[in-house]
């Protein structure tokens, strides 16, 4: 084979193109996930504080084994 044939075969070979496509696609998915995380983080943090405050101020009665439980 001559150098000209080698160059021509190299130019038409597309075996590595699929790998490049997957790397670009994977990078886009990761970037999209990080973007969504940045957008929803303040809302999640606020909701966490609300739930934490509700749990912290909840009044829990003690129940013994002989107590009656009423579901009012």
* Most distant CA atoms of the chain, gap in Å: 95
**In the prediction, which pLDDT does 1 show?**
60
What lies within 8 Å, CB to CB, of 71 at 6+ separation is: none
What lies within 8 Å, CB to CB, of 63 at 6+ separation is: 69
> Do residues 69 and 63 make contact, with C-beta atoms less than 8 angstroms apart?
yes
Indicate the pTM of the whole model.
Answer: 0.50
Q: What is the pLDDT along the chain (72 residues), one digit of tens a residue?
A: 688 888 888 888 777 777 888 999 999 999 999 999 999 998 888 888 889 888 888 777 666 666 666 665
d(CA 70, CA 16): 69
């Amino acid at each position: 084979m001559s150098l000209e044939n080698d160059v021509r075969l190299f130019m038409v070979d597309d075996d590595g193109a699929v790998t490049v496509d997957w790397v670009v696609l994977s990078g886009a998915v990761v970037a999209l996930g990080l973007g969504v995380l940045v957008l929803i983080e303040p809302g999640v943090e606020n909701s966490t504080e609300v739930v934490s405050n509700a749990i912290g101020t909840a009044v829990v009665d003690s129940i013994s084994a002989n107590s009656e439980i009423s579901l009012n």
